[in-house]
């Protein structure tokens, strides 16, 4: 423990662990792990190994397991620890806590009991993949894992088809080819897409292609590792540029340039950047 690290306040401290290299953990996260009264993890072995790598001592503490099959009794004991004035550090398995992570229920329970909840943030696979994908990042929707059955998967993709932003999914190597084939069938062959795997690790790879091409490639050449699939928003149809300009002029009469661009971009399903540039041109012309 860093001698300059103050004692942690009582409460639940969510700690983000690396999604790849152990070096990606933050100094703040290590300080929290060193100072917490109680340590909790989805995988106790992974956390123990991470602490050993960075020289963080357990100081006689044990690591409490908390996962999808953990009973209410364990959750109640952790809430009671916070209520009694202890600091509880919950470490995710890989990446930001609560993103496809069982710590969600623990956080809600502590909050409901009036306890303090905070986070030592770190790497996030969905956001890292979004940056790598080259797809629009002004609006996005994280949909987690799709259903494993094709019919249910296609139905869910149909529900997401009109989302005005980049879609982000987790997927397993065994199902990703079938998932991409279903996505191409439901969302269209030409929709922009990307597949990011093993993010921040030695064999990190990003494949970028229209959805139909990406599906065909994965059908022929399977991939391994932890996978994030990203699908761009649908192309806006039948957008009349004069309508956009008219709406911008009306919005600019009562709003700032930025707010007007935001409003019109959402209304027409366009990127904020493009509409902002259009609004700049209009103001110069006037």
In tens, the pLDDT along 7-59 reads 899 999 999 999 877 888 999 999 999 999 999 999 999 999 999 999 999 99
CA atoms lying within 13 Å on the CB side of residue 4: 2
Burial grade of 3 (CB within 10 A; 0-12, 13-18, 19 or more): exposed
- What is the rounded distance in angstroms from the CA atom of residue 264 to the CA atom of residue 109? 40
With a pLDDT cut of 90, the percent of the chain lying above it is: 67
- Please give the order of strands across the beta sheet that includes 227-231: 140-145, 166-171, 227-231, 192-197, 205-210
Q: How confident is the model at residue 121 (pLDDT cuts 50, 70, 90)?
A: very high
- pLDDT tens per residue, range 62-106: 999 998 888 889 999 999 999 999 999 999 988 888 888 889 999
Longest Cα separation, the chain: 71
Does residue 268 have a pLDDT over 80?
no
Q: How confident is the model at residue 267 (pLDDT cuts 50, 70, 90)?
A: low
- The pLDDT of residue 1 is 46
Q: Which uninterrupted H or E stretch holds 279? A: helix 272-285
Superfamily of domain 11-120: Tetrapyrrole methylase, N-terminal domain (3.40.1010.10)
Least confident range from 57-61, 158-162, 257-261: namely 257-261
- What is the rounded distance in angstroms from the CA atom of residue 181 to the CA atom of residue 154? 10
- The pLDDT of residue 246 is 84
Domain 125-231 part of CATH 3.30.70.2610: no
Does residue 285 have a pLDDT over 90?
no
- The pLDDT of residue 85 is 97
Does residue 194 have a pLDDT over 90?
yes
Does residue 238 have a pLDDT over 60?
no
Which has the closest alpha carbon to 39: 26, 57, 18, 27?
A: 57
Mean pLDDT score across all residues of the chain:
90
């Amino acid at each position: 423990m860093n001698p300059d690290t103050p004692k942690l306040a009582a409460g639940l401290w969510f700690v983000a662990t690396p999604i790849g290299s152990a070096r990606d953990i933050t100094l703040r996260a290590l300080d929290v792990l060193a100072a917490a009264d109680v340590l909790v993890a989805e995988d106790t072995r992974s956390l123990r190994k991470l602490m050993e790598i960075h020289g963080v001592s357990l100081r006689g503490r044990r690591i409490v397991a908390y996962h999808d099959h953990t009973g209410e009794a364990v959750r109640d004991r952790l809430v009671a620890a916070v209520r009694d004035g202890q600091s509880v550090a919950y470490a995710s398995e890989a990446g930001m806590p609560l993103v496809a992570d069982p710590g969600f229920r623990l956080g809600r329970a502590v909050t409901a009991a009036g306890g303090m909840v905070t986070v030592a943030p770190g790497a996030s696979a969905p956001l890292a993949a979004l940056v790598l994908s080259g797809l629009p990042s002004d609006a996005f929707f994280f949909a987690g894992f799709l259903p494993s059955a094709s019919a249910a998967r296609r139905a869910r993709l149909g529900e997401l088809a009109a989302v005005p932003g980049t879609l982000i999914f987790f997927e397993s190597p065994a199902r990703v080819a079938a998932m991409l084939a279903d996505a191409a069938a439901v969302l269209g062959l030409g929709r922009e897409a990307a597949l990011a795997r093993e993010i921040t690790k030695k064999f990190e790879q990003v494949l970028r292609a229209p959805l139909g091409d990406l599906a065909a490639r994965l059908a022929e050449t399977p991939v391994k590792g932890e996978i994030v699939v990203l699908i761009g928003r649908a192309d806006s149809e039948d957008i009349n540029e004069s309508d956009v300009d008219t709406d911008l002029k009306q919005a600019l009469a009562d709003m700032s340039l930025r707010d007007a661009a935001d409003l019109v971009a959402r209304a027409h399903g366009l990127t904020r950047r493009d509409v902002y540039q259009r609004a700049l041109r209009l103001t110069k012309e006037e």
